Amino acid sequence: DGKTITFNSAQGQQAADFYIGLRKYSPPDYYSSNSWDGRVAFATGKVAMYEAGAWFGGEMKSSFPKINGDWNVAPMPTGPAGCATTIAGDSLAVFDQSKNPDAAWMWVNYLTEPDHMKTWTFGSSTTTLLPPRQSLLTDPNLGKYNPWLEGFAKQMTCAVTDNTDNPKWPQVSDALNTELGKAIFGDISPTDALNTAAQKGEQILTG
């Protein structure tokens, strides 16, 4: 209904407990590190693993070429409901004020045609993208140049999106992240984090 918060449900509590529990495996210095700090820590051996999307492979390959071939991808742990991985991406768009809409649409069709998509996503050693077409995720040549792409492709069998069309969601998300951050540092419990975030979220949605 766009006004009810459910992330402090029993399932949300289980997820928060697991998420916050991961801190015991992380050096405290990295509790609040950003994406780049995490990549550097992984590349230099200061952390043993790093959770990221398929874009991570290309970043590692270009930014830390000396360790190419020394790392790989493993599936994320599953819960009672099975596996799940969030997906996001970029979009090809033709604007309504385009001066050449027909040509632009032809270009979109060209890029998204399966054989062409193979070329610009995984068709060479310099292309490091996971193709957005499901039919290409099982292509025998997907990991020819970058074997780690196959690991990310396997996760796509349980892909979900966490996007919402509620314009106030970014504010709710910020409230949740803020409270979970406090729990990661041990200032509050995971339960308190969820309940406080839920209260703030409902105020945002109904305000």
Q: Sketch out the chain's domains with CATH numbers.
A: 10-86+162-206 (3.40.190.10), 101-146 (no CATH)
Tokens of 49: 């693993």
Measure CA of the first residue to CA of the last residue in the chain; give whole Å: 15
Q: Any long-range contacts for 183-189 (C-beta under 8 Å, 24+ apart)?
A: 183/16, 183/20, 184/20, 184/23, 184/31, 184/32, 185/31, 185/32
Q: What is the pLDDT at residue 179? A: 98
pTM of structure: 0.83
Farthest-apart Cα atoms in the chain, separation = 57
DSSP E strand stretches across the chain: 85-86, 159-160
Q: What is the pLDDT at residue 124? A: 95
CA distance 12 to 188: 16
CA distance 33 to 37: 6
Q: What is the mean pLDDT of each run of 10 residues along the chain (207 residues)?
A: 87 94 90 90 93 91 94 88 87 95 98 97 94 95 96 93 84 96 96 97 92
Q: What is the pLDDT at residue 1? A: 73
Nearest to 3 by CA among 187, 203, 147, 178: 203
CA distance 64 to 157: 29
